[in-house]
Chain A
Amino acid sequence: MSLHRPIVLDFLETSKKKMSPTKKKKMSQGLTSLQGGSNKVFIQRDYSEGTSVKFHTRLPSELEGLIERQVFESTINRLNEFFAEAEKGSCSTYCEGCIGCITAYLVYMCSETHYEKTLRKISKFIASQNERVYNPKGLQVIDPTYRGLRVIEISVLDRPGRT
């Protein structure tokens, strides 16, 4: 399986390249309209409380009608809570940092940090939310970790329904 994987990737890549003009056409046709351009929506970071990771909870206009406001806001709020927990300076995290510092950060090679554990939780949470809430509505939330914690990417799938 693992041997075959790269080849498959490669085929996909080339086929995508060939398909890209049509995709681009689709994108460019919708350029003038707000909805067009791309079927992805990006939730930006909210810096009102400093540089800690926090996302805007306002429902973007592109998603109106696709998902209930409360559902969306609760998801983002939950994510924000997770990130706040990850970045919170509690006693245990400081101890962790101190221990790492004393051991010249060799301890990080052996164990996961609190932050990494939380990120794992977040991706689990997003996966479950996708499965239960977003995919049935034709949406797909992408883990902000994959986007450098800059944005939450929500892609509007072409045909609504279970995937």
Chain B
Amino acid sequence: MNLLCCCCGNMAPNTRITRKWELFAGRNKFYCDGLLMSAPHTGVFYLTCILITGTSALFFAFDCPFLATRINPIIPIVGAVLYFFTMSSLLRTTFTDPGVIPRASHDEAAYIEKQIEVPNSLNSPTYRPPPRTKEVLVKGQTVKLKYCFTCKIFRPPRASHCSLCDNCVDRFDHHCPWVGNCVGKRNYRFFYLFLVSLAFLAVFIFSCSVTHLVLLMKAEQEIFEVIKKAPFTVIVVFICFFSIWSVIGLAGFHTYLTTSDQTTNEDLKGSFSSKGGQRSINPYSRGNICLNCCHILCGPMTPSLIDRRGIATDDYILQMQQHSSPRHPLSDVMSASHVGSSGMVTAQPVIAGVSTGINVGGNDIKNRLYEESNASSATLGASNGIYRPRSYDNLQNAPELIQPLLDDGNSNSLAHLVDNEIPLSQMDVPQTQTAQMQRQFRHHKDRVQTSSSDSNNIINTFDSNECNPDDVIEIVGKSEVVVAVAAIAATSQARERQNRSDSYNNLFYSDSGPANAKSNTLPSSVSAIESFDKESPDLPQENNAVNLSASVDMKDSGDLPEQTESTNEKQKSNLLKPISQIENVYSNVLQSGAPCAKHVDSNPSLHVYSNLMDEQKQHELTLQMNKQYKQLAQKNITSAGVMLSSALLNDDLDLDDPVSASFVAQENVDSSFLSANGKVCDSSMSGLNRLRMLNNTTMINTALDLDSLDGSSLGNNSQSCLVKEAPPLS
């Protein structure tokens, strides 16, 4: 949806008004030009409708005529009134905004970040993340407000993030699939009325149908005769009998909740129960059953806060686009691609790198750009763990996962900083340096020559990259790719979810943001130096990470058992070379001024792959210990292959999805990697194997990564450095 708007904004002037619901960040469905909204999946809601309507229709068709004549003509009228009341409250529940709290605009999120920022001493090795909870006093009771990483706000008390709708909902009760919507502050009364009226309707229909059967029994004296005479009445009785208990139970439960002014969420969590001798009283209750009921059911209702039908102004679009950051590069890319390939070269060095690598027409470049960006997001997503739930709420409940959560929080927290840093670094680099860097960037070979001081490893890497683009087209029909594509289907669901999550946007920024890269440079290289100091005291501690990583490579291949963080470092640095050539990350490298940046900068994003590499490398090492250079080249290539498979997982992109849409295209380049892979080390592994290995190892390695993330972890380092280093570098 967002993409659509973005496209419209760039391609052709809008001839119609864009309303805010079209830019809505959550996953809700909207109907009637934003008048109505519901949860993304409404299948069960239709089942509810059919059940209620069907049962009532059978009742009206087969029971009512008999009862109206035999007992009282008022019965059908009462039934009809109950039915319409039930249905209207059901529809009202489903299509009303449950009280979605709009996400913070870019500026507001940045402001919050600034407010909660913890002063970090300049030379402390670890970055202290800002606290992600805030305690407030509500009527004398301490209430913890959690920060919502998706909405970029501290959730108000009683609000909760619905992972299905991907929104924070005020006074969140629960997400009810039966009504096809969240139940929150704004539609709780409808929901409650629906339950109560449905309970009445069910009891009414049940009793009437039973009466019908009893009267028939009196006449017929034979139960089979009765069933034969009124089969539908029997069906209605059965349906009502089984549904009546759950409905009445639920209505009773919600009556209790209403009288005590609690939500289902709070009741399940036991927020106000007497636990551990310390009884916490519900601070929201008005202290009186009647008052609670009145206020919840008849009190003033807050208008919808998301202003669905409001016209999205340019300012609004800008704010929301900056908020969901990864689309921002897209807009640049897209506008550049409109200008044409020549325009792209001047627009961004990143694109220049791609266009030099792949000699194709403007349209093709555009497609490739799409895919590249998609793949980059895929890389990042994978680094975050494919199976990670998209909502951090889930994580927060699990204490053992707090560490990753915090780390994510870090990267999130820095999203804005990094975001802000990008242009800064682009502009503030001394011109001569920039020019030199750009030249280096545009021509890999040039760069290889200029950085001739680098080890042969790197040159090998570059060479393997260089030959890639030529092979791109050849590989398309190969069976490897076909197999990989087949596997996509299975994982596409998970991937789509992961891509959709906004939280990854931040990750992207923090990973690929130049500032971050800059900052990342120092500590990780330092750590690498430290870890290898023991083994190689003669290693010069230069800032030239190229040399460093090269030497690290040699060291590491010598003693692999010591697969510590430093190994990862090295692997990443290897990996990075190919990747960074095509990714946005590269631009950072240039501005950061130090060549080391390109080797370490996108480390966090590559964790998974680097781990994979470890395994592969181990395997390979057993086979060929001595041939380091060869092996290194192969490693690079296999890594590219792994990347490809993961990129393929993200292959079918959802153009509705801003995140995936913004990065559409590293994939081609990846496939170029694969092609090189297929040529150079075809015998090493088949695409399927790689894919499977990726699947098998991703989880484990992610877990390992998370374990290793204490203290000197990469993620932390990256941010710490960001904070500390950004000022001097800028």
Contacts and interface: CB of A to CB of B under 8 A. Distances in A.
B314 A94 contact: no
Nearest to B310: A146
A25 B156 CA distance: 32
A24 B525 CA distance: 29
Looking at B14, B101, B419, B426, the one whose CB has the most chain A CB atoms below 10 A away is B14
A10 B544 CA distance: 47
A40 B107 contact: yes
Q: Which 3 A-B pairs have the closest CB atoms?
A: A97-B298, A28-B420, A148-B102
Looking at B101, B307, B318, the one whose CB has the most chain A CB atoms below 10 A away is B318
A38 B110 contact: yes
B193 interface: yes
A21 interface: yes
B17 A24 contact: no
A57 to B, nearest CB: 15
A100 B422 CA distance: 53
A145 B101 CA distance: 11
A104 B88 contact: yes
B16 A6 contact: yes
Given A9-B314, A40-B108, A50 B139 contact: yes
A43 B189 CA distance: 30
B419 A24 contact: yes
Looking at A38, A94, A96, A114, the one whose CB has the most chain B CB atoms below 10 A away is A38
B74 interface: no
A58 interface: no
Interface stretch (A63-71, A72-80, A126-134, A149-157): A149-157
A141 B530 CA distance: 53
Contacts of A37: 110-111, 114, 420
Contact of A101 (B8, B171, B193): B193
Given A16-B314, A42-B108, A94-B299, A49 B139 contact: yes
Interface residues of B, number: 74
B303 interface: yes
Contacts of B300: 86-89, 93, 96-97, 113-115
Given A47-B138, A93-B300, A150-B153, A40 B17 contact: no
Nearest to A85: B300
Interface stretch (B63-71, B216-224, B289-297, B644-652): B289-297
Nearest to B8: A10
Nearest to B137: A48
A6 B8 CA distance: 11
Given A50-B138, A93-B299, A41 B424 contact: no
A14 interface: yes
Interface string B105-145: 10110111010000000000000000000001111000101
Given A31-B417, A47-B138, A148-B306, A101 B297 contact: yes
B318 A20 contact: yes
Interface string B312-335: 011101100010000000010001
Nearest to B17: A6
Contact of B102 (A24, A97, A105, A150): A150
Contacts of B419: 24
Given A9-B313, A47-B143, A48-B137, A151 B108 contact: yes
B245 interface: no
B622 interface: no
Interface residues of A, number: 61
A51 B156 contact: yes
9 contacts: A6-B15, A14-B335, A21-B423, A27-B110, A51-B158, A96-B300, A101-B193, A145-B307, A147-B102
B206 interface: no
Interface of B: 8-10, 13-18, 84-85, 88-89, 92, 101-102, 104-105, 107-108, 110-112, 114, 136-139, 143, 145, 153, 156-158, 170-171, 189-190, 193, 283-284, 291, 294-295, 297-303, 305-307, 313-315, 317-318, 322, 331, 335, 417, 419-424, 426-427, 726-727, 730
Contacts of A150: 101-102, 104, 153, 156
A159 interface: no
Interface in A8-27: 9-14, 16-17, 20-22, 24-25, 27
Contacts of B335: 14, 17
A141 to B, nearest CB: 15
Given A49-B139, A147-B102, A150-B101, A28 B298 contact: no
Given A7-B14, A10-B14, A47 B299 contact: no
A28 B424 contact: yes
A105 B88 contact: yes
A115 B301 contact: yes
Contacts of B315: 16
Looking at B105, B300, B315, B726, the one whose CB has the most chain A CB atoms below 10 A away is B300
Nearest to B101: A148
A119 B110 CA distance: 27
B314 A34 contact: no
Contact of B423 (A17, A24, A94, A105): A24
A20 to B, nearest CB: 7
Nearest to A92: B300
A60 to B, nearest CB: 9
A105 B93 CA distance: 11
B424 A25 contact: yes
B622 to A, nearest CB: 49
A137 interface: no
A142 to B, nearest CB: 10
B1 to A, nearest CB: 16
